[in-house]
Amino acid sequence: MTYLRRASPLHAARASVAAAYCAALVTAAFLSSHPLVLAVLALAVLGAGLACGVGSRVARSLWLSLPMGLAIVLVNALVTREGLTVLVRLGDGGPLGQLDVTLEALAFGAKEALLLVVVVAVAALASAVIDPDEVLRSLRRVSFRSALTATIATRMLPLLALDARRIGEAQRCRPQPPGRLAVMRAITANALDRSLDVAATLEVRGYGSARRPPRTRRAASRHDLAVAASAVALVALAAAWPAPFSYYPTIAGSFDASAFAHAAALALVALAPFTQRRGISR
Amino acid sequence: MNALELHAVTYSYPAASEPALRDLTLEIAEGEFVVLAGGSAAGKSTLLGVASGLVPHFHGGRFDGRAEVCGMDLRSHGPAALAGEVGTLFQDPETQVVMGTVRAELAFPLENRGYEAVAVARGVEEVALALGIESLLERTTVDLSGGELQRVALGAALAGRPRLLVLDEPTSQLDPVAGDELLALLRRLNEEWGTTIMLAEHRLERCLAAADRVIALERGAVACDAAPSGFLEWAHRREPGLETPGAALIAGLGLGPPPAGVKQARATLRAAGLLPDVAAAPEPPGDHSRSPGGWRRHRAEGAPALQPTLRLRRVWHELAGGRAILADVSLSVRPGERVVLLGRNGAGKSTLLRHVGGLIEPTRGRVERSGRVALLLQNPGDYFVHDRVGDELDAEALREAGLEALADRHPRDCSGGERQRLALAIVTAGDPPAAVLCLDEPTRGMDRLAKRALADRLVERSGLGGAVVVATHDPEFAASFATRAVLLADGRIVADASPAELLSGGWYFATETARILGGHAGILTAVEAIARLGAGAGALESRA
């Protein structure tokens, strides 16, 4: 989950605008209850990832979120008492009471799973396209101590991941590899050493002087404007023109032309900033 | 004004039983290039910590005496306040880079000093141009190699042009090429910018030629403070472990003064009529045959034709994107052989050892082992999982490793050499004994005595019939134990020969003695050179 520098409109936009775009995608997903709209939003996020050159990262996150989505569908079907269309009667479930699996509970679980898939995909997109240095720099102007914590954390995460892999390899080299608990202890002890090293580096680079970084004046680029407009339009469209779909007590909603038009409009708005590729660089 | 002034400084780390610095009084003038010498735990890093303000402000502990850094009293100025005047570079490049891109990394110290945006932008460009890293500015730091990371970290330390630059073994993780480049840069900064340099280094032969002064520390106190030749004279008499191979050679031949570098040593030998004529030099010893593939396969002189204990057959290691880390590597190692793997950072040495150790599988080809492989990776500390040395090994293994006196100590509190010994004992413990012992960069941060002890252990182990394969950047260490040298480049074996042949003719992958003698007769060490040239000196004297 690290920033990937690519030549794309979203990378070219300033970090705050890119973050707003990602937040707008998530907001639009939360405002929508129609499964078609959510599915199209997931595809739009994947499209945005592909347009940014980080498609494989977003696709992997989609793939990884599927088991969790399936778990949500199953758990919701088993624990929800709502819904009138009973598909399976599983009998007495002990402390869970009577277990009836309803069509509505399955459908609602699927909608929640789709929502999760969109959120995870947007998180993957955000981590790959939002420059953490720019975010931390902005944060340093607002809150020095929070920025310090965030700086150490962002630097420590990839370092600790590398260390954990290295220590795991070293333990495999022992004639009798130790248990997982012992390895975890070793990794934790190493993490403390590492955090001290990073903190010492921050000290000698003058971070402790707590001066606010200079304000850099930068005119809004065409990509800033396009991405910001897309973010605003996404939220406005999702809020002002909802595609109605309710799940309980019975499913009420349709996959009619209006729903398709709504989903298509959201996808177009989400992907519109990527049609303009002039003036971008790595 | 001096760059550093210490008056009767005594310092102890928290909970330490002994002080790390003892009654230290010294002055370092502006513009001096000072090398700090000494064995492990002599106090070099602590002294550098004082210069950067980390001691005592970051580490805590008890500090007595008075210290001034660039005119600022250490009692009232911490590392952040000193950062404007002092640039610091540590050993490990990975923990010294805190931002995501090179540009942000170089801008970071300038922003912390409250520079305006224009000054930050100018400072970043200037330092990038000065260090030749302008092409890296837009790169993300996670994509940089070890050498590139170290240069970027040096750039961050130099941003804003500090008056004092302190460096703690900055070349220990770099290959000889990157290490020499870094030292050349320091020399240029010292000569052209007038930056005061304080450099702690174990491989003194690499940096003495650039130094104005050497301060040798012993148990936290100054044992010698002199110009390089004076220091080498002192080392010859008092501390042979700190003597460079070139100085040992000249002293061993009864010549003087001790040379600080290759140029001076050659001049001394030339003046004495002992510098060999390289053009007329005999071929280095060794038995070689050229394979159809073009590179040389080597069989150690007199080695019996034993079945290989390790055989790599056309091994490839390719990444998902298609890049090959190892490309068509074939290598056979017989019992009793001691093979050194050489090559620049990223050449594929560590990956090759991981394949040998079975940590990763080849994407093509295969690895055949006739017994257990013991693999010691770069960080010995990664092998420790207990709070006591005595819990890491059984009593007998501990005694065999000579570590029984440390049984109650925490492994992380041991010295570099002790940690190395403990980790080596851990991977080689148990039955059956390992048929192949592989070590990846085992000498990082080790002083010369610890390296010598490790070389002796490797020779002893191969004498018992085990094969040894070691990846290292240290040609002096390689020459001290290896019977065979393999050079890797871009994942391929480009040379496979005797150490005398591989380590004598070149410049980067060569010992200091070999560089002084221009590769004459494959002589690699001062001891060999004294034996060979000493006979020549005797003949000269007889003629006279």
Q: Residue B246 and residue B530: Cα distance in Å, rounded?
A: 11
Query: For residue A206, which residues of chain B lie inside 8 Å, CB to CB?
Result: 79-80, 83-84, 109, 112-113
Kindly provide the residue ranges of all beta strands, DSSP E only, lying in B419-531, ordered along the sequence.
Answer: 436-440, 467-471, 484-489, 492-497
Query: For residue A174, which residues of chain B lie inside 8 Å, CB to CB?
Result: 383, 426-427
* pLDDT category of residue B443 using cuts at 50, 70 and 90: confident
Strands B338-342 and B484-489: parallel
pLDDT digits (tens, 9 = 90+) for B45-68: 999 999 999 999 999 999 999 999
pLDDT digits (tens, 9 = 90+) for A73-115: 999 998 888 889 999 888 887 877 788 899 999 999 999 999 9
Is 70 exceeded by the pLDDT of residue A239?
yes
Q: Which of A4, A151, A178 sits opposite B98 (nearest CB)?
A: A151
Integer Rg of chain A from CA: 23
Mutate which: A205, A209, A215, vs B, most B CBs within 10 A: A205
Three-state SS for B133-197 is CHHHCCCEHHHCCHHHHHHHHHHHHHCCCCCEEEEECCCCCCCHHHHHHHHHHHHHHHHHHCCEE
| Mean pLDDT of the B27-37 span | 96
Distance from CA of B374 to the nearest CA of A (A): 7
* pLDDT category of residue B170 using cuts at 50, 70 and 90: confident
Q: Do B54 and A203 touch (CB under 8 A)?
A: yes
Integer Rg of chain B from CA: 24
- The pLDDT score that the predictor gives to residue B287 is 46
Mutate which: B97, B106, B127, B385, vs A, most A CBs within 10 A: B385
Tokens of A84: 């009138």
Helix axes A222-240, A257-271, angle to 10 degrees: 160
Which of B229, B176, B169, B174 lies closest to B200, judged by CA?
Answer: B169
Percent share of chain B, pLDDT over 70: 93
pLDDT digits (tens, 9 = 90+) for B259-287: 999 999 999 999 998 888 766 555 555 54
- B305-343 burial: b if 16+ Cβ within 10 Å, else e: eeebbbbbeebbbeeeeeebbbbebbbbbbbbbbbbbbb
Query: For residue B54, which residues of chain A lie inside 8 Å, CB to CB?
Result: 200, 203-204
Distance from CA of B76 to the nearest CA of A (A): 13
The DSSP bridge partners found for residue A88 are A101
Residue with tokens 């403390």: A192
Contact between A76 and A109 (Cβ < 8 Å): yes
How distant, in Å, are the alpha carbons of A20, A124, A160, B153 from that of A192? 34, 28, 10, 22
* pLDDT category of residue B288 using cuts at 50, 70 and 90: very low
Note the pTM of the prediction, 2 decimals: 0.79
| Mean pLDDT of the A104-131 span | 94
Query: For residue B109, which residues of chain A lie inside 8 Å, CB to CB?
Result: 205-206
Q: Do B156 and A151 touch (CB under 8 A)?
A: no
- The pLDDT score that the predictor gives to residue B304 is 55
Is 70 exceeded by the pLDDT of residue B543?
no
* pLDDT category of residue A208 using cuts at 50, 70 and 90: confident
Query: For residue A154, which residues of chain B lie inside 8 Å, CB to CB?
Result: 100
Tokens of B222: 């100054």
Tokens of B151: 């240069």
The DSSP bridge partners found for residue B254 are none
More confident: B415 or A9:
A9
Which of A254, A236, A248, A228 lies closest to A37, judged by CA?
Answer: A254
Residue A258, H or E segment = helix A257-271
| Mean pLDDT of the B21-30 span | 96
Q: Do B385 and A186 touch (CB under 8 A)?
A: yes
pLDDT digits (tens, 9 = 90+) for B176-195: 888 888 899 899 889 988 99
Give backbone dihedrals phi and psi of A245, rounded to 5 degrees, phi first: -160, 120
Is 50 exceeded by the pLDDT of residue A138?
yes
Q: Do B426 and A194 touch (CB under 8 A)?
A: no
Q: Residue A60 and residue A128: Cα distance in Å, rounded?
A: 13
Q: Do B53 and A208 touch (CB under 8 A)?
A: no
Kindly provide the residue ranges of all beta strands, DSSP E only, lying in A196-269, ordered along the sequence.
Answer: 245-246, 252-253
DSSP string across A94-146: GGG-EEEEEHHHHHHHHHHHHHHHHHHHHHHHHHHHS-HHHHHHHHHHH-HHH
Cis peptide bond prior to B432, omega within 30° of 0: yes
Residue of B nearest to A174 (CA): B427
Q: Do A211 and B374 touch (CB under 8 A)?
A: no
pLDDT digits (tens, 9 = 90+) for B379-404: 888 999 888 999 998 888 888 888 88
More confident: A90 or B216:
B216
Residue A147, number of CB atoms within 10 A of its CB: 20
Give backbone dihedrals phi and psi of B8, rounded to 5 degrees, phi first: 50, 50
pLDDT digits (tens, 9 = 90+) for B131-146: 888 999 988 887 787 7
Share the mean pLDDT of chain B: 88
Q: Residue B391 and residue A151: Cα distance in Å, rounded?
A: 37
Distance from CA of B159 to the nearest CA of A (A): 10
Share the mean pLDDT of chain A: 88
* pLDDT category of residue B520 using cuts at 50, 70 and 90: confident
ipTM entry: 0.81
| Mean pLDDT of the A180-197 span | 84
- The pLDDT score that the predictor gives to residue A220 is 86
Sign of CA dihedral B291, B293, B294, B295: negative
Q: Using alpha carbons only, what angle is made at residue B73 by residues B72 and B77, rounded to the nearest 5 degrees?
A: 80
Q: Residue B404 and residue B393: Cα distance in Å, rounded?
A: 10
Is 80 exceeded by the pLDDT of residue B205?
yes
- The pLDDT score that the predictor gives to residue B271 is 93
Residues listed for chain B: 544
- The pLDDT score that the predictor gives to residue B92 is 79
- The pLDDT score that the predictor gives to residue B312 is 96
| Residue partners of B240: CB distance under 8 A and separation at least 6 | B248
Tokens of B489: 């480049």
Contact between B346 and B352 (Cβ < 8 Å): no
Most confident listed range (A197-206, B99-108, B475-484): B475-484
Which of B108, B212, B100, B226 lies closest to B156, judged by CA?
Answer: B108
Q: Do B116 and A199 touch (CB under 8 A)?
A: no
Q: Which domains does chain B have, with CATH numbers?
A: 2-243 (3.40.50.300), 305-527 (3.40.50.300)
pLDDT digits (tens, 9 = 90+) for B114-132: 888 889 999 999 999 988 8
Mutate which: B95, B140, B388, vs A, most A CBs within 10 A: B95
Tokens of B317: 């290691």
* pLDDT category of residue B535 using cuts at 50, 70 and 90: low
Q: What is the DSSP letter of B382?
A: G
Strands B324-333 and B338-342: unpaired
- The pLDDT score that the predictor gives to residue B295 is 41
Which of A17, A14, A12, A41 lies closest to A29, judged by CA?
Answer: A41
- The pLDDT score that the predictor gives to residue A68 is 93
Q: Which of A133, A159, A193 sits opposite B104 (nearest CB)?
A: A133
Tokens of B137: 């500015």
Is 80 exceeded by the pLDDT of residue B297?
no
Q: Do A133 and B99 touch (CB under 8 A)?
A: yes
Tokens of B201: 């280094």
How distant, in Å, are the alpha carbons of B94, B251, B424 from that of A159? 8, 47, 25
Q: Do A206 and B109 touch (CB under 8 A)?
A: yes
Distance from CA of B187 to the nearest CA of A (A): 22
| Mean pLDDT of the B72-99 span | 89
| Mean pLDDT of the A167-176 span | 89
pLDDT digits (tens, 9 = 90+) for A58-81: 999 999 999 999 999 999 998 888
More confident: A190 or B6:
B6
| Ramachandran region, residue B220 (left: φ > 0; alpha: ψ -120 to 50; beta: rest) | left
pLDDT digits (tens, 9 = 90+) for B145-168: 777 888 899 999 998 889 999 999
Give backbone dihedrals phi and psi of A119, rounded to 5 degrees, phi first: -60, -45
Q: What is the DSSP letter of A256?
A: -
pLDDT digits (tens, 9 = 90+) for B499-509: 999 998 787 88
Is 50 exceeded by the pLDDT of residue B76?
yes
Residue A197, number of CB atoms within 10 A of its CB: 17
